């Protein structure tokens, strides 16, 4: 079994090498790891760091010549991953890679194809109330539109079988990737299992990029894909 860990990167020189090291340190019994780093045309030293990290076996690098957004970076990575499973890892330190174990264990035990790590079921340290409220609101909209009972639609940690996600047509370029993939998984009748995870949010001055505008785009994305594919 191989797990492909997709790390979209845009101007993350302060934490990039550290998060890659944390991912490498995770020991997963019976699971091989593959790290895919996607530089989304960073303007800092991120690309240089990626070039260094890509020299380590089991690490792939993809480079965008222009900035396209997180969703576009994930889509590029999906074209090159070779794992049986994939999970997304932000290039900051908000999520703990040691918790991959929780998602993998839940997947094995429940026999599902999709597992989300929920910040609201676990220990969430939110630096901005607006982000907490926005995530709650978008998850509520997801539940209403798709008839489910999720607690954290916007979570970064989405563990999905590669053979499930690869054939799905994805169009998102920025942060609307989260609602798009959730909508399309649900419309295909897939059950999304949630497990509690920890979360340590960061402030805008620390590099946080998502804003209130992205919340409106996410809401529209949920509505759009409820009625289209």
Judge whether 3 and 83 are in contact, CB under 8 Å. yes
Both tokens of 11, joined, read 């101007």
Within a 10 A sphere around the Cβ of 79, how many other Cβ atoms?
9
- So what CATH class is 2-227? alpha beta
> φ and ψ at 157, to 5 degrees?
-75, 100
Q: What is the pLDDT of residue 147?
A: 97
Judge whether 127 and 208 are in contact, CB under 8 Å. yes
- Per DSSP, the residues of the chain read -EEEEEEEESS-TTTHHHHHHHHHH---TT-EEEEEEEE---SSSHHHHHHHHTTSTTEEEEE-SS---HHHHHHHHHTT---SEEEE--SSSSS-GGGHHHHHHHHHHHT-SEEEEEEEEEEEE-S-HHHHHHHHHHHHHHHHHHT---S-TT-S-EEEEHHHHTTS-----STTHHHHHHHHHHHTT--EEEEEEEEE---GGGT----HHHHHHHHHHHHHHHH--
Query: What are the extents of the domains in the chain?
Result: 2-227
Strands 192-200 and 158-161 come out as: unpaired
Q: What is the pLDDT of residue 127?
A: 59
Q: What is the pLDDT of residue 174?
A: 86
Q: What is the pLDDT of residue 191?
A: 97
Per-residue pLDDT of the chain (229 residues; tens, 9 = 90+): 999 999 999 999 999 999 999 999 999 999 999 999 999 999 999 999 999 999 999 999 999 999 999 999 999 999 999 999 999 999 999 999 999 999 999 999 999 999 999 999 988 776 566 777 888 999 999 999 999 999 999 999 999 999 999 999 999 988 899 999 999 999 999 999 999 999 986 565 544 556 767 788 999 999 999 988 8
Closest CA to 73 of 154, 140, 156: 156
């Amino acid at each position: 079994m191989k797990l492909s860990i997709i790390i979209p990167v845009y101007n993350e020189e302060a934490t990039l090498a550290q998060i890659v090291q944390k991912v490498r340190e995770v020991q997963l019994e019976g699971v091989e790891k593959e790290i895919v780093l996607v530089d989304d045309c960073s303007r800092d030293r991120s690309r240089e760091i990626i070039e260094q990290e890509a020299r380590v076996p089991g690490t792939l690098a993809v480079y965008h010549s222009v900035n396209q957004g997180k969703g576009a970076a994930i889509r590029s990575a999906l074209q090159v991953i070779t794992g049986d499973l994939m999970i997304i890892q932000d290039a900051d330190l908000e999520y703990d890679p040691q918790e991959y174990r929780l998602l993998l264990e839940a997947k094995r035990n429940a026999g599902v194809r999709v597992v989300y790590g929920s910040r609201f079921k676990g220990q969430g340290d939110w630096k901005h109330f607006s982000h907490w409220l926005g995530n709650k609101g978008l998850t509520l909209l997801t539940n209403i539109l798709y008839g489910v009972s999720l607690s954290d639609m916007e979570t970064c940690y989405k563990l999905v079988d590669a053979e499930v996600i690869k054939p799905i047509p994805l169009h998102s370029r920025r942060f609307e990737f989260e609602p798009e993939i959730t909508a399309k998984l649900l419309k295909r009748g897939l059950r999304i299992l949630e497990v509690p995870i920890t979360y340590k949010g960061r402030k805008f001055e620390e590099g946080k990029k998502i804003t209130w505008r992205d919340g409106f785009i996410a809401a529209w994305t949920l509505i759009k894909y409820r009625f289209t594919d």
